[in-house]
Amino acid sequence: MSPRIIRIITLIPFLLALAAAQAAPLPIPKPPSSGAKAFVIQDFNSKRVIAEQESDAQVEPASITKLMTAYVVFKELLSGNIALSDMVTVSEKAWRTPGSRMFIEVGKQVSVEDLLKGMIIQSGNDATVALAEYIAGSEETFAALMNRHAEEIGLIGSHFINSTGLPDPEHYMTAQDIARIAGLLIEEFPEYYKWYSQKEFTFNEITQYNRNKLLWRDESVDGVKTGHTDSAGYCLVTSAKQDDMRLITVVLGTKSENARADASQALLNYGFRFFETHRLYAAGDTLTTTRIWKGKTDSVTLGLDRPLYATIPRGQYESLDASMIIDNHITAPVVQGQALGKVQVQLGDELITEQKLVALQGVDEGAFWQRIIDEALLYFE
């Protein structure tokens, strides 16, 4: 027997109430030309990709790599394995690492917090290697740790050889993966993500400025990271928030600092101008109650374990349609959070998003006689 499909009636008045205030639907033009090898525009909350070009191509990420390095360091902080106040002795290898620098000195001790700021704000390769060595003993071992975390969080198109992004044929990322890791940094580590909006950092009496030009151009921009090598070109990952909508853009392989900033700004403007994101349901809200068999109770409430967002073209909110597909013959025991169906949101014939529908509370098995009665009733279903 196929699962039941139920319309979510509560969505419709909510949509219609806002529909009156919406302008007529706008035609959606193609995204602006970026001049990049690859790019992606993604909504942070819904995870919907608004526009992309070669977003699954494995390309050299340069210092964009440091987003993954930061993720591993933040995880170590969260687990209590290290602390921001820990003092790190700078090795000769870290001191000699080529490329952008924080200007730490060999043999001196620098705090984890200062090294993180040197890596995030100044893109210091020396600071990055010092952190990698402190956490894993060597940069090579740290790269293995990066690959393990990448596999765990689903970065299927990435592979890391070092912590900095210095060129190597086996070191690559995709624009899709970069957007994902940027989103995880924002979502999981807000207390550290704030450093990505810091415009300058002074260490050892040397002040250096964040290379993300959009931090000065656009007040809605609060991150994320630049990257450049001769072979990778000029790269930029950007996040910006306007009202309740946050976008992440990734631009890889442009020809100059201005080109990457201009391309990123154009993609952000495009996303905010022609699309909108709405939270349709909150986590834990009861969406329906359904029959459960052989349980202590004869019903179970269903809802979502995380908020449900939809990103759609502007002016088309009233055309959204939501429905639930619920498993037939749900039988106790059921544990809280168990998936028992899904919610689907469509715009015309297009499936915009879907999310699992879960039990909001557990239901234990009923008494022996209740199970016998329900077994008999099920026979006639």
Task: Give the residue numbers marked as catalytic.
Answer: 63, 66, 123
8 A C-beta contact, residue 314 and residue 276: yes
Query: Which residue, 134, 239, 114, is CA-closest to 184?
Result: 239
Residue count of the chain: 381
The beta strand positions in 161-282, using DSSP E, are 200-203, 206-209, 221-229, 233-242, 245-254, 275-281
Upper half-sphere CA count for residue 321 (Cβ side, 13 Å): 10
Identity of the amino acid at 185: L
8 A C-beta contact, residue 201 and residue 118: yes
What are the φ/ψ torsions at residue 171 (nearest 5 degrees)?
A: -115, 115
8 A C-beta contact, residue 67 and residue 252: no
Reduced to 3 states (helix: H, G, I; strand: E, B; else coil), residue 359 is strand
CA distance 268 to 285: 32
